[in-house]
Amino acid sequence: MSLVAEAFVTQLAAAEPWPENAALYQQLKEEQILLSDNASSLAVQAFLQMCNLPIRVVCRANAEYMSPSGKVPFIHVGNQVVSELGPIVQFVKAKGHSLSDGLDEVQKAEMKAYMELVNNMLLTAELYLQWCDDVTVEEITHPRYGSPYPWPLNRILSYQKQWEVRRKMKAIGWAGKTLEQVLEDVDQCCQALSQRLGTQPYFFNKQPTELDALVFGHLFTILTTQLITDELSEKVKNYSNLTAFCRRIEQQYFEGHDKDSSATVAARSAKRSLLR
Amino acid sequence: MAAPMELFCWAGGWGLPSVDPDCLAVLTYARFTGAPLKVHRVTSPWSSPSGRLPALKTRDEGTISKTQQIITHLGKQRYNADYDLSTTQRADTLAFVSLLEEKLLPVLIHTFWVDAKNYVEHTRKWYAETIPFPLNFFLPNCMHKQHLERLQLMWGDGYMEDEEKLEKELYRDARECLTLLSQRLGSQKFFFGDSPASLDAFVFSRLAPLLKAKLPNGKLQQHLKSLQNLCNYCTSILSLYFPWDGGESPASAPRAVGADGSEAEDDPHKRRNQLLSVLVGLAAMLGYAFLSGIVSIQRGSTGPAGHQPIALEEEEEEEEE
């Protein structure tokens, strides 16, 4: 979009209030969605709950292809479609809701840095585990990713995605890593998050911010998704303040508002259906 | 005593000890910690033991080629710049390094290697002049393609094709990252107080090339120059830890020596090249002469007799005319 059109759209976005029928699109919860996408989706849902903005979750098999950037989740608000947590945060800010206004400049710098840490280490580790660890790929990823499609389309699509993800891993230097090294990186990341959180309720003391939403999305999904082994969730469970943090946010923003909300349903379904 | 560890890194230029951000990070970290390293400033990756730069040749563990692994190895050898940091500061280090790697480094690579004007007029020129013959014909292009592919995979094709989108979103994020770093640094000497840590090595190595290189298309550079505390930070690290490598005038002195040395090296090559070209020319002329029959050697007769047919032929030609 050209600069003028972009500015026009932002004005328009700011003018309209948040509609009641805003929708968040992701892949099918029970059969199709993978660990990394579930984490990203949960992070966006948590963020919107923290902002008190109603959203309903719509599951579509082709959510990934509908998204403007190719990544899930994306939200459909009014007549606009925005994908990924970063742009969604900015979009919501343009509408006048923001969680990080009360932070000073240094804290904002730290918040952005920690969000990049989660994206750089946790998300990449999740992608590695899903697409580069052969056992997980064969037993969980391939069956789940292509499940809505008939043979041979399901195999073709999942091999295509696997090839794409492996190329990316090679470009950023993760292809040469072993599973132990990846788990070690996850441990380092969790240690950093745990140290930053300390004994506070949220990362920036009293109020949750988008960093809390992002960390919650990833850690909660890791804790409640059953994979081939429990090594990944064990790394997170080592840090009790992180598990307490996840429980606190779940209770405050998910169970309190809606019994059938995605977090609890995802937790139940993840435990049931990912076990093979 | 065992031999000290050897570090292979790209040569220096533009007033810096090394032009490559990864090599610069390792060099700076080594200077911060006072690690005894024998530094080889090479001009091509083929001179390094692992084929890539930077490369650390250790005593026991072979050659390590990844920046982060080299720094971890030095840390294990008791050259640890993060020793005095608190746990929160170590966590902050991890976070800020991630920020740098995700937001700033790709845009930096784009500025130096993919942006058409910068690449052709500045980066490729420097590498083509520095890398020895015959690698300098194809290695810069090879590196350009590698970096381009890496950026395409990281950002997706949408960004690479749409210049405006790239400029707006990614460069904006990079500028924001610089501003955030500036705010975090504030008026301190280093990021964590008065003594440098690994984060300082990383930040310096990403910022210094951007600051020092004379880029024709330098929007990001201008933004960096507007952040006074970051500029002062870079220049103070250069003058404190690289006093004979950094700065223009000291650099020109070793440069002159280097130039003389390289000229002396070039001279035998030049002579040899001249001799070769004369020989090749002569051989081409003689070959043409023989093939077209202007000159022919007749076997079976003695040397002087062999000359006669030529002389006779010439006489005949003259007579005919």
Question: Which residue's entry shows tokens 């000073």?
Answer: A104
CB A43 within 8 A of CB A214: yes
pLDDT at A12: 59
| Closest CB from A112, A173, A192 relative to B91 | A192
Cβ separation of B92 and A69 shorter than 8 Å? no
Distance from CA of B124 to the nearest CA of A (A): 22
Which chain A residues contact residue B149 at CB under 8 A? 171
Give the distance from residue A165's alpha carbon to the nearest chain B alpha carbon, in angstroms. Answer: 9
pLDDT tens digits, residue range A108-134?
888 999 999 999 899 999 999 999 988
Answer for the pair B164, A3: CB distance below 8 angstroms, yes or no. Answer: yes
Beta bridge partners of A26: A59
Token digits for A4? 């003028």
Residue A150 CA to residue B62 CA, distance in Å, equals 50
Number of neighbouring beta carbons within 10 Å of residue B83: 11
Q: Which tokens sit at A261?
A: 């909300």
Q: For residue B5, which of B52, B45, B38, B51 has the smallest C-alpha distance? A: B38
Beta bridge mates, A59 = A26
Asked if residue A215 lies in contact with residue A244, where contact means CB atoms within 8 angstroms, the answer is no
For A169, A233, A253, B76, B239, the CA distances from B33, given in Å and listed in that order, are: 32, 37, 47, 12, 16
Considering only the beta carbons, identify the residue of A69, A105, A172 that sits closest to B154: A172
Q: What is each CA distance from A71 to A129, A148, B63, B104, B179, in whole angstroms?
A: 18, 18, 38, 22, 28
Residues A219, A241: Cα–Cα separation, whole Å: 12
Chain A residue with Cα closest to B186: A106
What does the pLDDT profile of chain B (321 residues) look like in tens digits?
455 788 888 888 888 888 888 888 988 988 888 888 888 888 888 778 777 778 888 777 777 878 888 888 888 888 888 888 888 888 899 899 999 988 888 888 888 888 888 888 888 888 888 888 878 888 888 888 888 888 888 877 666 677 777 777 888 888 888 988 888 888 888 888 888 888 999 999 999 988 888 888 788 888 888 988 999 999 998 888 888 754 433 334 444 444 444 444 445 577 888 888 899 999 999 999 988 888 777 765 544 444 444 545 444 555 544
The reported pLDDT for the residue numbered B102 is 87
Under an 8 A CB cutoff, do A120 and B98 touch? yes
DSSP structure string for B233-259: HHHHHHHHH-TTTSSHHHHHHHHHHHH
A175 to chain B, any CB pair closer than 8 A? The answer is no
- Within 8 A of A169 by CB-CB distance, chain B residues are none
**Mutation for testing the A interface, residue in B168, B169, B172, B180 having most A CBs under 10 Å:** B180
CA distances from A246 to A186, A261, B150, B169 (A): 17, 15, 35, 32
pLDDT of residue B4: 72
The dihedrals phi and psi of A201, each to the nearest 5 degrees, come to -70, -40
Distance from CA of B138 to the nearest CA of A (A): 21
What residue type is A273 in one-letter code? S
Q: Residue A163: helix, strand or coil by DSSP?
A: helix
Look at B256 and A196; give whichever has higher pLDDT.
Answer: A196
Query: Residues of B with CB below 8 A from A168's CB?
Result: 153-154
List of residues 6+ apart from B250 with CB closer than 8 A: B243, B244
Q: Is the ipTM of this complex over 0.90?
A: no
Q: Which amino acid is at A98?
A: S
Find chain A residues with C-beta within 8 A of B98's C-beta. Answer: 113, 116-117, 119-121
Q: Closest Cα partner for A149 from A262, A225, A65, A226?
A: A65
Burial of A252 (C-beta count, 10 Å sphere; 0-12/13-18/19+) = middle
Average pLDDT of span A62-75: 88
Contacts of A183-188 spanning 24+ positions with Cβ under 8 A: A183/A125, A183/A231, A183/A232, A183/A235, A185/A121, A185/A125, A186/A121, A186/A122, A186/A125, A186/A232, A186/A235, A186/A236, A187/A235, A187/A238, A188/A121, A188/B94
In this structure, what token pair is assigned to residue B23?
């090599």
A260 vs A48: which has the higher pLDDT: A48
B164 touches chain A (CB under 8 A): yes
The amino acid at residue B321 is E
To test the contact with chain A by mutation, choose from B87, B99, B172, B188 the residue with the greatest count of A C-beta atoms within 10 A, namely B99
pLDDT of residue A263: 47
A216's tokens: 């919650």
Question: Within an 8 Å CB–CB cutoff, is residue A125 touching chain B?
Answer: no
Nearest-Cα residue of chain A relative to residue B106: A172
pLDDT 10s digits, A145-175: 988 899 899 899 999 999 999 988 888 888 8
The more confident residue out of A256 and A188 is A188
Check CB contact under 8 Å for A120 and B168. no
What is the percent of chain A where pLDDT is above 70? 87
Residues of A in contact with B180 (CB under 8 A): 108-109, 112-113
Integer angstrom CA distances of residue A102 from A98, B99, B180: 9, 22, 16
* Signed CA dihedral, B251, B256, B257, B259: sign only: positive
How does the average pLDDT of chain A come out, rounded? Answer: 84
**Angle, CA of B215, B93 and B222, to the nearest 5°:** 20
Residue A19 has pLDDT above 50, yes or no: yes
B233 near B206, Cβ under 8 Å? no
Q: Is the pLDDT of residue A27 over 60?
A: yes
- Which CATH code is given to the segment(s) B87-241? 1.20.1050.10
Q: Where residue A38 falls among pLDDT bands split at 50, 70, 90?
A: very high
Pick A109's closest partner by Cβ from B150, B153, B183. Answer: B183
pLDDT interval class at A258 (50, 70, 90):
very low
**Residues 178-197 in B contacting A (C-alpha not used; CB under 8 Å):** 180-181, 183-184, 186
- Judged against a pLDDT cut of 80, whether residue A259 lies above it is answered with no
For chain B, the structural domain boundaries read 87-241
B64, B72, B153, B155, best to mutate vs chain A, most A CBs in 10 Å: B153
Q: Which structure tokens are listed for B269? A: 């090559």
Cβ separation of A110 and B184 shorter than 8 Å?
yes
Say which DSSP state B13 is in.
B
**In sequence order, what are the residues at sequence separation of 6 or more whose Cβ sits closer than 8 angstroms to the Cβ of residue A189?**
A117, A118, A121, A122, A125, B94
At residue A194, the pLDDT reads 92
